[in-house]
Amino acid sequence: EPEVTQTPSHQVTQMGQEVILRCVPISNHLYFYWYRQILGQKVEFLVSFYNNEISEKSEIFDDQFSVERPDGSNFTLKIRSTKLEDSAMYFCASSEETGSYGYTFGSGTRLTVV
Amino acid sequence: AQSVTQPDIHITVSEGASLELRCNYSYGATPYLFWYVQSPGQGLQLLLKYFSGDTLVQGIKGFEAEFKRSQSSFNLRKPSVHWSDAAEYFCAVGGYNAGNMLTFGGGTRLMVKP
């Protein structure tokens, strides 16, 4: 079964450093997403991406965050200057078509900011 | 705005007993509804989803859920719980909208007594 692949599975970074979280969506999917889950809390939507641009973003997704599809396979989330409160599990997801049908999540990257 | 409420933060059941996890949603159009399971430190695994048609949907691991439009509910059930079902369960709602975001409930942590 096709999978969404995220790397690394765990990343530790110092406060103020830039991090890039990487995702390889399912190959024929057109819509890409990032979500995050702070420890013990609910999963929260960050951003959706379609046709090489952001289609929707939440209040969490401020100027410190950016997304990019640098080539035909990768989808990245960059945090420019990490804060302690950015520590969370970050999930990438993709879907084949519009609407929530066929959403597939990756296994997540646990980001720890120290 | 769309929202999901999972009224029970923790539930404990005995192995072999039946289970029902509650989910209530608010959504302005036809909802797409999902149940995900998350084991500690792991990603989100899709249990089942509902888009249309038969309001009783079957999922993996013996789970089922029933969509009740009049009650805005999508409760998850299992007739006989196994110790391996201990995990956190998230209900989510999405739809055919720009950005295709999913909104998650706060989760229900299931513990299974031997």
Between chains, do B34 and A101 touch, taking CB under 8 Å as contact? no
Average pLDDT over every residue of A63-80? 94
- Assess whether the previous peptide bond of B79 is cis (omega < 30° from 0): no
Q: Which residues of chain B have pLDDT under 70?
A: 96-99
In one-letter notation, the amino acid at residue A67 is: V
List CB contacts of A81: < 8 A, sequence separation 6 or more.
A16, A17, A18, A64
The per-residue pLDDT of chain A, averaged, comes to 92
Residues A22-58 as b or e (16 or more Cβ within 10 Å = b): bbbbbeebebbbbbbbeeeebbbbbbbbbeeeebbbb
Of A31, A99, A105, the CB nearest to B32: A99
Of all residues in chain B, the one with the smallest CA distance to A110 is: B41
Between residues A29 and A78, which one has the greater pLDDT?
A78
Structure tokens at A91: 């999930």
Q: Best of B101, B104, B108 to disrupt the A interface by mutation (most A CBs within 10 Å)?
A: B101
Q: Does A30 score more than 80 pLDDT?
A: yes
Average pLDDT over every residue of A106-114? 96
